[in-house]
Amino acid sequence: MNAPHPPKVAGIDPAVPTPAHTVAPTPPAPGAAPSPDSALPVTSAPAPGTLLQDRLAAWVSDLTTLHELTERLSRTNALEPALEELLRAGSALVGARRGLVVLEPGDGLGPRTTIGLGLGRADLGHMETVPPGSLPYGTLLDQGPGAGAEIVHADLLAEDGLDPRHREVAARLGYAASYALPLSTESAGRLGAAVWLYDEPAEPDEHRRHLVGLYVRHAAEHLARLVEVERTRASMTTITEELLPSRLPRVAGVQLAARHRTGPRGGGDWYDALPLPDAALGLSVGSVTGSGPSAVAAMGRLRASLRAYAVMEGEDPVAVLSDLELLLRLTEPARSATALFAYCEPVLRKITLAGAGHSPPLLIGERRTEFAETSVSAPLGMLACWEAPSVEIQAEAGETLLLYTDGLLHRTGDPMDRAFARLHAAAASVPRTLRRDPGAVADHVLRTVLPDGMDTADSGEDVVLLAARFD
């Protein structure tokens, strides 16, 4: 076992700037002779205002540092970036190179995650093999609201009673000391813990502990708000997914695939595929205005009503949308919606469709990629009486009908004409090897239109794609 190392004060590479003024050394008492071993000259007492100036300069420096760090944290609007910023700022304040933050709300409602600074997934996996109570942040996850304890391991290798597995992992990852703080608020309770790791025996001094304590208290309040936002988003996504088809039906002569992503505020976009009498198939996509729980609820009501109308008179898409428009005006007078309904006869590869203020579907095949232009019409609920003629499309074997909502176009950030051009180009570029699979067609279109993905696109819009490939 290695010999004990005297703990050092953290801060070999300080990130908190040292004030320009320093406190002068304390002069010897009057009449006292200087030490014979001292080579330093005897200095006179500082001017009366020097100590105050030095103290004020130090306070200003600390406040400036905390202001800059908290401003950076406040600009984060999602949990992962906020946790990463917390680790970086805390690392600068305590003088550590690596660390990790464990998000584990005490109420058990999630979300739960672990993010490392200078630690890979494998490193975090090694730390998870340590018994929970022996981790560097150990008991912090058992404490309740307002927990103010810290856990300091100034020299892990020389510490008596350290769990053997913890010692083994510390040696494997190359850290010799740790400093951990709880993340908690009075209102939200325990959120998790943050821990910073030192490459050699060390611990932050009182000044650094004070600064990081102030910062972490502010960070915990910010994280508590982001946790609530994340929970709301997850709830909205779950509710929306439950209101949409859990699986698509199997109908002879056609293959179906759908892609859907709910926006961060919860939107009212839907899709549906419904087997109808005489081996027919009804396809619909639509979008209710607004966002949040009320829009999601309205979407569920409209989708359910459209299914009923489709069963009764699906062969006439205009009648289906006319009934839906009347229902909307009577039950949702403050809302409007766009919708598209297609009555498909897979054996004949015949499609009859009507749209209400909705973007036209795409027909993708070997010899053509074109929009199936529906007649121009207003959204549902915008006119006293809605009606527009239907159009008929004759699909060829192997062609795919792609229905989508406007959210796909809006997420591009382009003007609508450019967004339509991008969508058409994406559909035309589907490789031949993928055209037999409607899911692969939808994925290719998504990757091409939204190269950054549905999650990272800078938009709150829902995204819906419904692809039907005719045999």
Q: CATH number of the domain that 61 lies in?
A: 3.30.450.40
Question: Are residue 192 and residue 330 in the same domain, yes or no?
Answer: no
- Residues 93 and 209 grouped into a single domain: yes
Tell me, yes or no, whether 454 and 332 share the same domain: yes
Note whether 134 and 283 are same-domain residues: no
151, 204: one domain:
yes
On whether both 225 and 263 belong to a single domain, the answer is no
C-beta neighbour count of 257 within 10 angstroms: 20
Tokens of 117: 């600074």
Domain-located, residue 23: no
**182: closest CA among 107, 266, 105?**
105
Domain-located, residue 36 = no
Give the whole-angstrom CA distance, residue 116 versus residue 124: 7
Do 229 and 258 lie in one domain? The reply is no
Could you list the pLDDT tens digit for every one of the 471 residues in the chain?
444 444 444 443 444 444 333 333 444 444 444 444 444 455 556 666 787 787 788 788 889 999 999 999 999 988 999 999 999 999 999 999 999 999 999 888 889 999 999 999 999 999 989 998 888 887 888 755 445 588 999 998 888 888 999 999 999 999 999 999 999 998 889 999 999 999 999 999 999 999 999 999 999 999 999 999 888 888 877 777 778 888 899 999 999 999 988 776 667 899 999 999 999 999 999 999 887 788 888 888 999 999 999 999 989 999 999 999 888 888 888 888 999 999 999 999 999 999 988 889 999 998 899 998 776 678 888 766 667 788 899 999 999 999 999 889 988 888 999 999 999 999 999 999 999 999 999 999 999 998 876 655 445 688 899 999 998
Q: Quickly tell me which residue has 């993905």 as its tokens.
A: 453
Q: For residue 308, report the phi and psi dihedrals to the nearest 5 degrees.
A: -65, -45
Q: Which of 213, 234, 255 is the last residue of a domain?
A: 234
Provide the domain count of the chain.
Answer: 2
pTM of the model: 0.65
Does residue 43 fall inside a structural domain?
Answer: no
Q: Contact, 192 vs 102, CB < 8 A? A: yes
Rounded to whole angstroms, how far apart are CA atoms 260 and 271? Answer: 9
| Claim to verify: residue 250 and residue 229 sit in the same structural domain | no
| Domain-embedded: residue 26 | no
Same domain, residue pair 299 and 174:
no
* Interacting residues of 320 by C-beta distance below 8 A, sequence separation 6+: 306, 309, 310, 313, 314, 341, 354
Find the CATH number of the domain harbouring 304.
3.60.40.10
Domain assignment of residue 86, given as a range: 49-234
